[in-house]
């Protein structure tokens, strides 16, 4: 919005780095301004978290802590994006829709669990339908509109058109392979996997928030370098015209997550709930799709992947041992993985910071894939 208001008067708004910094700062300010008010409102109307009795005993004291803090995150992402980004940019339109769509589904889920006392909140199949619809809508736009064009520069600087159904393979030179219409189910899987993975990871104060900020910062770098023909040529990565606007959105996520950590760090005054986790998951998944970094997301979001796999393996192992021995056994002390380390004697703060460190190492590893392909 500000770009269209001042682009003729001030050349500064033409610089995407300036607008990205503005988005991050605006997101921080929004969190600091509205955070305390939303926390008080949620307390007054009894939107408190219900802690499961079969979880770690140390978590029982968190009973009643306000949840649905994802409202703060969403406002701190959406408003700066509207203020600082070019709203006519198709990338911005897609990413904003994805974030709002899953944020709404998460809000409904939280509302049903907390206010209506539905134990499981929104029925799982309805969540899946919502994720399926989002994936299909993204696929429809990518396959049927010429708004987004993917190109790559080869070694001889010859521009080659890349099929819209292609994926980029890290660590492989010119590792771009076309999946055709098989790319559509991949999009759906990515949206489902990322939104659910962050939801599972959001079990300790500040854990998911910090990891999302780290991943978003990497996507910010990728979006900027991918939009520049010179940088993408030098790094031998896919050149994606106009994707630079996603830098603003990514910085808004980073700013909102850091601002939310002010209240969400241990001991948390508020939890993000499904409102935040599903929205942030959809945002990361959509960023990976738009920037053609679907496979790289497995490395960048490695902690989310491990957290999800720990739940899957725990369930499968329990069912297997129950069928074979008549009594189910657990592979971990408790799933997701962060609870296993808690029950192993790690302090909650130690688990969070150490997982953040792993997230930073995976982020650096993800960036090294640029020159190794």
Q: How confident is the model over 257-278, as pLDDT tens digits?
A: 999 999 999 999 999 999 999 9
Token pair, residue 183, equals 């790319």
- CA distances in angstroms from 96 to 16, 69, 209, listed in the order given: 18, 18, 19
Helix (DSSP H) and strand (DSSP E) numbers for the chain: 14, 5
The torsion angle over the Cα atoms of residues 14, 16, 19 and 23, rounded to 10 degrees, is 160
For 271, residues 6+ apart whose C-beta sits below 8 A from its C-beta are: 49, 65, 66, 67, 68, 69, 202, 264
153 pLDDT above the threshold of 50: no
What element of type H or E holds 159?
strand 159-161
On the question of pLDDT at 49 being above 50, the answer is: yes
Q: What are phi and psi of 66, to 5 degrees?
A: -55, 140
Rg (CA), the chain: 21
Question: What pLDDT band is residue 64 in, cutting at 50, 70 and 90?
Answer: confident
Given a contact cutoff of 8 angstroms between Cβ atoms, the answer to whether 105 and 123 are in contact is no
Q: Is residue 16 part of a domain?
A: yes
Q: How many CA atoms lie within 13 A of 8 on its CB side?
A: 2
Residue from 197, 339, 271, 253 nearest 75 by CA? 253
pLDDT at residue 158 tops 70: no
Q: How far apart are CA 202 and CA 155, in angstroms?
A: 43
Is 343 within the bounds of a domain?
Answer: no
pLDDT at 86 over 50: yes
Confidence of residue 207 (pLDDT cuts 50, 70, 90): very high
Count of structural domains, the chain: 1
Residue 177 belongs to what domain range?
2-299
Domain membership flag for residue 353: no
Domain membership of residue 368 (yes or no) is no
Residues counted in the chain: 373
Residue 362 placed within a domain: no
Residue 29: CB atoms within 10 Å: 14
Residue among 360, 178, 189, 208 nearest 275 (CA):
208
**Mean pLDDT computed over 348-367:** 96
The pLDDT value given to residue 57: 72
Does residue 156 sit within a domain?
yes
Q: Residue 183: which region, alpha, beta or left (left: phi > 0; alpha: psi -120 to 50)?
A: alpha
- For residue 370, the model assigns a pLDDT of 80
Tell me, letter by letter, the H, E, C secondary structure of 66-90: ECCCHHHHHHHHHHHHHHHCCCCCH
Question: pLDDT at position 264, please?
Answer: 95
Instruction: Evaluate whether residue 318 is within a structural domain.
Output: no
295 within some domain? yes
């Amino acid at each position: 919005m500000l770009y269209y208001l001042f682009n003729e008067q001030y050349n500064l708004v033409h610089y995407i780095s300036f607008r990205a910094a503005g988005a991050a700062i605006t997101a921080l300010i929004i969190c600091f301004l509205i955070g305390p008010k939303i926390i008080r409102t949620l307390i007054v109307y009894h939107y408190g978290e219900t802690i499961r009795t079969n979880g770690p005993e140390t978590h029982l004291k968190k009973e009643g802590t306000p949840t649905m803090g994802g409202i703060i995150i969403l406002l701190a992402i959406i408003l700066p994006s509207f203020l600082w980004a070019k709203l006519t940019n198709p990338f911005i339109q897609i990413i904003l829709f994805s974030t709002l769509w899953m944020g709404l589904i998460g809000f409904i889920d939280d509302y049903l669990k907390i206010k209506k006392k539905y134990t499981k909140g929104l029925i799982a199949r309805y969540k899946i339908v919502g994720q399926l619809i989002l994936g299909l809508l993204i696929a429809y736009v990518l396959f049927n509109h010429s708004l987004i064009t993917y190109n790559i520069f080869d070694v001889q600087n010859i521009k080659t058109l890349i099929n819209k159904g292609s994926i980029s393979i890290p660590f492989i030179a010119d590792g771009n392979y076309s999946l055709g219409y098989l790319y559509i189910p991949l999009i759906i899987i990515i949206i489902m996997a990322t939104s659910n993975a962050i939801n599972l990871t959001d079990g300790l104060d500040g854990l998911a928030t910090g990891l999302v900020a780290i991943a978003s910062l990497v996507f910010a770098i990728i979006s900027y370098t991918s939009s520049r023909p010179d940088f993408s040529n030098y790094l031998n990565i896919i050149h994606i015209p106009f994707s630079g606007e996603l830098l603003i959105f990514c910085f808004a996520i980073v700013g909102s997550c850091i601002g939310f950590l002010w209240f969400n760090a241990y001991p948390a005054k508020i939890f993000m709930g499904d409102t935040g986790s599903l929205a942030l998951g959809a945002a990361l998944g959509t960023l990976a799709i738009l920037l053609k970094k679907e496979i790289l997301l497995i490395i960048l979001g490695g902690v989310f992947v491990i957290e999800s796999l720990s739940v899957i393996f725990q369930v499968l192992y329990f069912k297997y041992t129950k069928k074979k021995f008549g009594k189910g056994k657990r592979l971990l002390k408790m799933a997701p993985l962060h609870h296993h380390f808690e029950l192993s004697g790690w302090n909650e703060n130690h688990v969070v910071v150490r997982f953040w460190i792993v997230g930073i190492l995976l982020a650096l590893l993800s960036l090294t894939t640029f020159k190794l392909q």
